[in-house]
């Protein structure tokens, strides 16, 4: 890597016990392999002493840029903010909890050095160290989203990736409030190589992903990248209307020509409930999109910076 710089973007939320160990691991892994690099830590409104730990790192090494959010805005916002501050020719997004080993960054950078045709390397997990149920839901999510979207989502792909400067510029162009990185990286295109890896156990602290949060993230991913659910509700509506029209004709003919009374209490109740349910579902789907338009329409900032320190800035 001659005359080239690497920037690491590291989102941190309650990582006081990890950031220093992470920094040391990076220094060790890059020693003699990558000589010019900077670290951009984004403190995403941690409730612990992460910011104080980051300030220590910055005091130790001026190539450590640190950015403090005014509150917790989420990992997506933290990654986006970090990308605004990078100056490297290569940029890597990596977690602070050492689940993603810095040695792998060297591998990704080497790959890009040796393969000028590729613009980006994304790490993906072949086998996950997690429960069967969660794994099943994650796989189903990818199957669902891939069947609905034109762009391709790779199952198991993480935010752990390295890419060239112009990919950063493309991602920074995507200023939407509801950010879904996996989709954003597919959407901007470029030639991406998927490299398999195995995530380590978390060094310290806790994962901030509950099942509920994951589900919300999945729905956000789908609504951010496809309007197929709207089409599906329209199709269901169309099918129901067609069916009821035919059924109406049948009932009318039976009544008018054959004088048959249809004993219909149960049928009526079931149909009312069914149609009512479908209508509410369709409204709910529409509501998801409208609420996104509502928030997006306010044009609020994706993150708010409280403090930022780098070589030339000490505030």
| Residue 309 C-beta: closest distance to ligand UDP, Å | 18
**Alpha carbon of 142 to those of 59, 120, 133, 149, 192: distances in Å?**
43, 21, 15, 10, 18
Which of 104/285 has CB closer to ligand UDP?
Answer: 104
| Residue 94 C-beta: closest distance to Mg ion, Å | 10
Binding to ligand UDP (CB under 6 A) within 171-210 occurs at: 207-209
Which of 78/108 has CB closer to ligand UDP?
Answer: 78
11 binds, among Mg ion, ligand UDP, none (CB under 5 to 8 A by kind): ligand UDP
Cross-sheet strand order for the sheet of 37-43: 192-197, 120-125, 157-164, 90-93, 6-12, 37-43, 64-69, 305-310, 313-314
Backbone angles phi, psi at 110, to 5 degrees: -60, -40
- Over the window 27 to 56, marking each residue x when it contacts ligand UDP by CB under 6 A and - when it does not, the resulting string is -----------------x------------
Q: Cβ(315)–Cβ(66) under 8 Å?
A: no
Q: Give the interface size with ligand UDP as a residue count (CB under 6 A).
A: 16
- Our finding on whether 156 is near ligand UDP (CB under 6 A) is no
Q: Cβ(83)–Cβ(49) under 8 Å?
A: no
- Our finding on whether 155 is near ligand UDP (CB under 6 A) is no
- Our finding on whether 15 is near ligand UDP (CB under 6 A) is yes
User: Computed from CA positions of residues 248, 251, 255, 258, in that sequence, does the dihedral angle turn out positive or negative?
Assistant: positive
Tokens of 5: 């710089």
Which of 42/168 has CB closer to ligand UDP?
Answer: 42
75 binds, among Mg ion, ligand UDP, none (CB under 5 to 8 A by kind): ligand UDP
* Residue whose tokens read 């004993």: 263
- Pick from 248, 271, 252: nearest CA to 260: 252
Q: What is the DSSP secondary-structure string of 33-45? A: T--SEEEEEEE-S
Which stretch, 71-79, 102-110, 179-187, 280-288, contacts ligand UDP (CB under 6 A)?
A: 71-79
Q: Which of 9, 13, 88, 285 binds ligand UDP (CB under 6 A)?
A: 13
| Residue 280 C-beta: closest distance to ligand UDP, Å | 32
| Residue 301 C-beta: closest distance to ligand UDP, Å | 16
Which of 194/217 has CB closer to ligand UDP?
Answer: 217
CA–CA separation, 174 vs 46, rounded Å? 26
- Pick from 74, 86, 6: nearest CA to 40: 86
Name 10's bridge partners. Answer: 41
- The footprint of Mg ion (CB under 5 A) covers 95, 97, 99
Which of 92/99 has CB closer to Mg ion?
Answer: 99
* Residue whose tokens read 């935010």: 159
Q: What is the DSSP secondary-structure string of 221-244? A: HHHHH--HHHHHHHHHHHHHHHHH
| Residue 94 C-beta: closest distance to ligand UDP, Å | 8
* Residue whose tokens read 């300030």: 55
Binding to ligand UDP (CB under 6 A) within 85-104 occurs at: 95-97, 99
76 binds, among ligand UDP, Mg ion, none (CB under 5 to 8 A by kind): none
Binding interface with ligand UDP (CB under 6 A):
11-13, 15, 44, 72, 74-75, 78, 95-97, 99, 207-209
């Amino acid at each position: 890597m001659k005359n080239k710089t690497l920037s690491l973007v590291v989102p941190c939320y309650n990582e006081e016990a990890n950031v220093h160990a992470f920094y040391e691991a990076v220094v060790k892994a890059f020693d003699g392999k990558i000589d010019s690099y900077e670290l951009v830590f984004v403190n995403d409104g941690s409730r612990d002493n992460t910011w104080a730990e980051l300030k220590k790192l910055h005091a130790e090494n001026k190539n450590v840029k640190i950015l403090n959010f005014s509150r917790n805005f989420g990992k997506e916002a933290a990654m986006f903010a970090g990308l605004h501050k990078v100056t490297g020719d290569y940029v890597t997004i990596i977690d602070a909890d050492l689940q993603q080993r810095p040695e792998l960054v060297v591998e990704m950078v080497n790959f890009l050095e040796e393969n000028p045709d590729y613009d980006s390397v994304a790490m993906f997990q072949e086998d996950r160290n997690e429960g069967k149920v969660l794994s099943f839901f994650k796989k189903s999510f990818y199957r669902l989203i891939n069947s609905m979207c034109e762009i391709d989502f790779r199952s198991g792909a993480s935010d752990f990736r390295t890419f060239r400067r112009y990919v950063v510029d493309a991602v920074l162009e995507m200023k939407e409030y509801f950010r879904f990185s996996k989709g954003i990286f597919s959407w901007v295109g470029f030639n991406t190589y998927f490299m398999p890896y195995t995530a380590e156990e978390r060094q310290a602290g806790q994962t901030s992903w509950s099942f509920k949060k994951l589900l919300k993230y999945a729905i956000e991913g789908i609504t951010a990248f496809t309007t197929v659910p709207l089409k599906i509700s329209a199709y269901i509506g169309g099918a129901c209307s067609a069916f009821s029209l035919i059924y109406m004709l049948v009932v009318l003919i039976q009544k008018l020509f054959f004088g048959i009374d249809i004993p219909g209490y149960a049928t009526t109740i079931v149909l009312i409930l069914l149609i009512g349910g479908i209508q509410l579902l369709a409204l709910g789907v529409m509501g998801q999109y409208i609420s996104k338009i509502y928030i997006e329409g306010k044009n609020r900032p994706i993150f708010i910076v409280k403090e930022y320190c780098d070589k030339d800035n000490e505030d």
